[in-house]
Amino acid sequence: MKQLGSATDPLWYKDAVIYELHVRAFADSNADGIGDFQGLISKLDYLQDLGVTCLWLLPFFPSPLRDDGYDIANYVDVNPSYGTIDDFKQFLDAAHRRDIQVMIELVINHTSDQHPWFQAARLAPKGSPEREMYVWSDTDELYSGVRIIFTDTEKSNWTWDEVAGQYYWHRFFSHQPDLNFDNPRVMHEVLTAMRFWLDMGVDALRLDAIPYLVERDGTSCENVPETHVKIKAIRKVLDEEYANRVILAEANMWPADVRPYFGDDDECHMAFHFPLMPRIYMAVRQEDRLPITDIMAQTPDIPPNCQWGIFLRNHDELTLEMVSDDERDYMYLAYSADPRMRINVGIRRRLAPLVDNNRRRIELLNSLLLSFPGTPIMYYGDEIGMGDNIYLGDRNGVRTPMQWNSDRNAGFSRAVPAKLYFPVIMDPIWGYQAINVEAQQSDQSSLLHWTRNMIALRKLFQVFGRGTLEFLHPENRKILAYLRNLDREDGSHETVLCVANLSRFAQPVKLDLSAYAGRMPVEMLGYVPFPPIDQTPYAITLSPYSFLWLELQPAPEREEPVEIAGDEPTLSLLNQSWQSLLSGAGVGVLQQLLPAWLQRQRWFGAKTRTVSSVSVLDWVEIPTAAVASASSVTLNSALVFVDLTYSDGTVDTYQLPLAVSTGETADQLRATAPNTILATLTTPSGPAALHDAVQREDLRQALLGLIEHNRSLPTEVGSIGGGQSSAFAAVRGSGALPARTGSAEQSNTSILYDDKLILKLFRRLQPGENPDTEIGRFLTEVAHFPRIAPFLGDIRLSSAPEGETAEPTTLAMLQGLVTNEGDGWAWFLDELSRYFEGVFNCPTPTGIGQVPTFTDVPAPPLALAQEHAGFSLDAAALLGRRTAEMHLALATPTEDPAFTAEVFTAADLNADARRIDAQINSTLDALKREMSQLTDLTADDAALLLSQRIELFARAHAISAGDPAAAGQRIRIHGDYHLGQVLRAKNDYVILDFEGEPARSLAERRAKQSPLKDVAGMLRSFSYVAWAGLAAFAQRRPDDARNLEPWTRLWENAAATQFLNSYRAAIAVRPGLIPEPAVAQLLLNAYTLEKALYELLYELNNRPAWVRIPLSGILALPR
């Protein structure tokens, strides 16, 4: 009779915690040395207490056991060593009584060569249905080129069968012939076997090796379309005949290749996420979240009812098939020092030995397993930190008997030890006397108790199994931080913030949680409330390998009425109009309020100056949805443009979005962003807050609307207008885009629209088009350069009265939001940290390479540098190429005079030389003044530089001595190019911020210049990051850093070489853009000198301790 499954929720597998075990390895009830179902039944209370909700049994069918049971000889029986069918039924019922579901294996790609089907096939005539149960060929050339999976044991996917007189096909061992799914009889038999177990009440089936079901010549014989047809047929039977049953796909593929196995929710309910697992280990070893975030970025969305299965270890090797060659080499070096630990394409070790039995690392990895999207799958024994035996063959080292207690055979069996199917582990560290269930049950601090508690905690929150995932991107890459969100069916919402420290040292981190301002994080393990979140970055410190799970709860309800802060100024707004505030006496009030308020705004750049007067230049009301509603808000928001006159007579123009809010909105502002409130107003409907309008969602949406609908609005004097670029529609997509204010802005304000768009609202306005907007538009719409955040539109102010014309001023720029891993500066600093870790105890390098020049024949950096810093040098090379591509894009032929490439004139070169002269004078004068403050070593270098003043002038003037026509072309350039201006994104770069140097005038920033100026900027940045990296390392480990200067120079030269070589190769596609090598080097020398002098002046004025970096950089410059 057909039994019901045990689960009542059709999506039970999303909330499950799966425990993988082998009946043979778990508990032996009859003292024959082999685990069995009765033994397993006796341990169900243990498993229930552990909290797991689903048991995945490895194959327990009759089998010659040459592949641990995956070589099945009978699909509808139990291996007599493990018991009988009745024993299995008894086990199934007992598990179900404990609310534990059961998953078994459906190994349908192949059988054992001892299966009666195969024995019959060998004897049957060619072409007969019996023979065609398997895949045969007269030649072993069919399907040539298909990869071999078990490379350690198999030489071909074909094996000759003497009896049949043909070759048979096998993707795994030669004793496992593949079934032929082109024969309908095979599918019939598979479905018969499936029904046999499902009828009994089995809840889930793991489909083993499904990418290989069907073979087609000329393909890789993996993932062929016909395979999906077979899986759909299996799923159809499952859905039509059974309720709440699940199939799980084993497809060891990249996530994008696994995605088709979910189909349109008509193939597998679940699939393993294979590539995540090695990257978790890699991230922990490298102390860098990138491997994890990178693979998750490559993970496609799956149908809502489907689920990933995630795991740390299983019965097979830690597979490294789904990693790059470099990553595989790294993993071997990091995790398998002994070659015996390696097998096939992976590492055959258990969790605890992999992480050197470090409890905190084990806990960290499990915390990721239990909090990542997907259903966690634990491997038996890992809950107590069992070890492995690498001296056993194949993958049997991780399949040893479960260690129950310190009695004979670890309590697994009463048989004489020699009878055990595998010996128990007996060494002093991993042996059963040291690690066993009984001991850990009585030890409240054991890993077993910890695991049990963590599983129980996970089960309390459905968000872990069903919620969305969103990574945060703090600067510190040793921190992995992500949000899980779930709208529950009961209308409630769960938000959990997970933060993990991948490093062996304590780490600080600041998280942008402004979207959750007002929420209160509650640490989930101890139910400890943390300080509420506000608009500022949320700072947390994590101890080594620690993790935090924080539930972001709504702010506690206030019992007492909210009081209006006494120090907020109060003024009347009785006639409810902006006019009353922005004209007449209202301006006087603003003048009183603004200076103090501006001091509290992060974007206000003149905090050291005194505002002597304020005048309103212009303003415009922005129609918003809030006014149209019946809310108590009665005013639109307004963009106000004010002139601030300082006591020294200079004037700045600022943009102030203002709004008036009452009721709950005002209360929330007082609680979460009090600094944005300018004043409390008296209005007819009660007290109201006059505040920065970017806090209001309606204003944020209205600004987006101006761009989206190309809309204009009249201001008091002129007009403002929004406009979208040609890329807008594709990036914006459809649907609502909830907005929030970014927290990392400095001189401007960023508004983020969901995870798609970012609007940069310029605060200090300069007349004319902002270069960032101008260049962004050109690169997006004309040059179609992909390595920038796409320009999507802008808002402009034209304050000229009607009838007059004036160049509009850019108020805001809209771009696509780029998912990234932080800026290039932080990325290279991290890489350098690893580099110094690797070389600090190496002998001093025999050579440090050379500063690269255009006149050199391009050559690779020294092999020593490649050996220790290959990854970061590759990244430097890529940046060189991208930089050249940026310049080529900026030089795209166009009719637009602002972008047309021009030749140098003598006047241009003279102007450059004069500018550098001025820089030399101001810097060296400052250096002379500060000499007495410098350390001895730095003072020596400073004296040397001062003695070269004449020679420096000569270098500057050298550029004006040559033929201007040979100096290459002048184009628009980035203008402020350094590592902080590029983002790392998916192992590539996105170039940002084309505003130019903020201190320069708009005209200077928009002037055309030699692209070599950007090259010089980036070369200086490589130098800076190298020495900053050394300083950081020295601060942490002063003793180890003493002899690292040669290593620093080695890296600096190698990175610069890679960058420049790559730049030269890529820019060469447009001859003439940069001059011939000798002239190019002359210009580069001059521009690099100018940049380094600028840095030196900055450090003298601001960070004397850093003076040595630019100083030694200047002295090392080629002449």
In whole angstroms, what is the distance from residue 502 CA to residue 521 CA?
21
Of the candidates 31, 297, 460, 506, which one interacts with other proteins according to CB under 8 A?
Answer: 460
Decide: is 139 part of the binding site for other proteins (CB under 8 A).
Answer: no
Decide: is 444 part of the binding site for other proteins (CB under 8 A).
Answer: yes
What is the nearest approach in angstroms of other proteins to the Cβ of residue 526? 5
Decide: is 391 part of the binding site for other proteins (CB under 8 A).
Answer: no
CA angle 590, 594, 597 (to 5 degrees): 140
Helix (H) or strand (E) holding 943: helix 936-946
Residues 6+ apart with CB under 8 A from 902: 969, 970, 971, 1008
Of the candidates 4, 31, 49, 160, which one interacts with other proteins according to CB under 8 A?
Answer: 49
Nearest Cα to Cα of residue 223 among 235, 214, 231: 214
By beta-carbon proximity to other proteins, the closer residue of 391 and 527 is 527
What is the nearest approach in angstroms of other proteins to the Cβ of residue 529? 8
Structure tokens at 26: 């778990």
By beta-carbon proximity to other proteins, the closer residue of 3 and 462 is 462
Cβ burial 553-564 (10 Å sphere, 16+ → b, else e)? eeeeeeeeeeee
Of the candidates 85, 333, 528, 911, which one interacts with other proteins according to CB under 8 A?
Answer: 528
Decide: is 459 part of the binding site for other proteins (CB under 8 A).
Answer: yes
Decide: is 492 part of the binding site for other proteins (CB under 8 A).
Answer: yes
What is the nearest approach in angstroms of other proteins to the Cβ of residue 53? 13
Strand partners, 20: 56, 379
Of the candidates 457, 713, 818, 1034, which one interacts with other proteins according to CB under 8 A?
Answer: 457
By beta-carbon proximity to other proteins, the closer residue of 125 and 556 is 556
Of the candidates 295, 524, 611, 620, which one interacts with other proteins according to CB under 8 A?
Answer: 524
Helix (H) or strand (E) holding 887: helix 863-890
In whole angstroms, what is the distance from residue 854 CA to residue 1067 CA?
12
In whole angstroms, what is the distance from residue 909 CA to residue 957 CA?
9
Decide: is 526 part of the binding site for other proteins (CB under 8 A).
Answer: yes
Site stretch for other proteins (CB under 8 A), options 373-381, 396-404, 453-461, 628-636: 453-461
Decide: is 453 part of the binding site for other proteins (CB under 8 A).
Answer: yes
Residues 6+ apart with CB under 8 A from 105: 57, 58, 59, 69, 70, 205, 206, 208
What is the nearest approach in angstroms of other proteins to the Cβ of residue 460? 5
Site stretch for other proteins (CB under 8 A), options 81-89, 454-462, 472-480, 756-764: 454-462
Q: Which amino acid is at 117?
A: W
Q: Which residue has the tokens 């190429």?
A: 881
Of the candidates 156, 462, 546, 921, which one interacts with other proteins according to CB under 8 A?
Answer: 462
What is the nearest approach in angstroms of other proteins to the Cβ of residue 453? 6
What is the nearest approach in angstroms of other proteins to the Cβ of residue 360? 16
In whole angstroms, what is the distance from residue 899 CA to residue 780 CA?
13
Site stretch for other proteins (CB under 8 A), options 305-313, 455-463, 594-602, 692-700: 455-463
In whole angstroms, what is the distance from residue 152 CA to residue 521 CA?
51
Decide: is 94 part of the binding site for other proteins (CB under 8 A).
Answer: no
Long-range pairs, 861-865, Cβ under 8 A, ≥24: 861/1053, 861/1054, 861/1055, 861/1057, 861/1058, 862/1050, 862/1054, 864/1050, 865/1050, 865/1051, 865/1053, 865/1054
By beta-carbon proximity to other proteins, the closer residue of 52 and 509 is 52
By beta-carbon proximity to other proteins, the closer residue of 461 and 619 is 461
Of the candidates 356, 490, 563, 895, which one interacts with other proteins according to CB under 8 A?
Answer: 490
CA angle 1017, 1023, 1024 (to 5 degrees): 85
User: Which of the residues 71, 161, 178, 250 is marked catalytic?
Assistant: 250
Asked whether the beta carbons of 509 and 479 are under 8 A apart, the reply is yes
Site stretch for other proteins (CB under 8 A), options 77-85, 415-423, 522-530, 768-776: 522-530
What is the nearest approach in angstroms of other proteins to the Cβ of residue 486? 12
By beta-carbon proximity to other proteins, the closer residue of 125 and 526 is 526
Decide: is 461 part of the binding site for other proteins (CB under 8 A).
Answer: yes
User: Which of the residues 20, 87, 203, 208 is marked catalytic?
Assistant: 208
Q: Please tell me the count of residues contacting other proteins according to CB under 8 A.
A: 19
By beta-carbon proximity to other proteins, the closer residue of 415 and 522 is 522
Decide: is 963 part of the binding site for other proteins (CB under 8 A).
Answer: no
Asked whether the beta carbons of 661 and 622 are under 8 A apart, the reply is no
Decide: is 325 part of the binding site for other proteins (CB under 8 A).
Answer: no
User: In the annotation, is 208 catalytic?
Assistant: yes
Structure tokens at 420: 């055990």
Decide: is 98 part of the binding site for other proteins (CB under 8 A).
Answer: no
Cβ burial 1025-1054 (10 Å sphere, 16+ → b, else e)? bbbbbbbbbeeeeeeebeebeebbbbbbbb
Residues 6+ apart with CB under 8 A from 225: none
Decide: is 560 part of the binding site for other proteins (CB under 8 A).
Answer: no
Site stretch for other proteins (CB under 8 A), options 115-123, 518-526, 853-861, 1008-1016: 518-526
Decide: is 243 part of the binding site for other proteins (CB under 8 A).
Answer: no
Asked whether the beta carbons of 266 and 224 are under 8 A apart, the reply is no
Neighbours of 473 (CB within 10 A): 17
Decide: is 456 part of the binding site for other proteins (CB under 8 A).
Answer: yes
By beta-carbon proximity to other proteins, the closer residue of 98 and 986 is 98
Helix (H) or strand (E) holding 937: helix 936-946
Q: Which residues bind other proteins (CB under 8 A)?
A: 49, 444-445, 449, 453, 456-457, 459-462, 490, 492, 494, 524-528
Residues marked active site are found at 208, 250
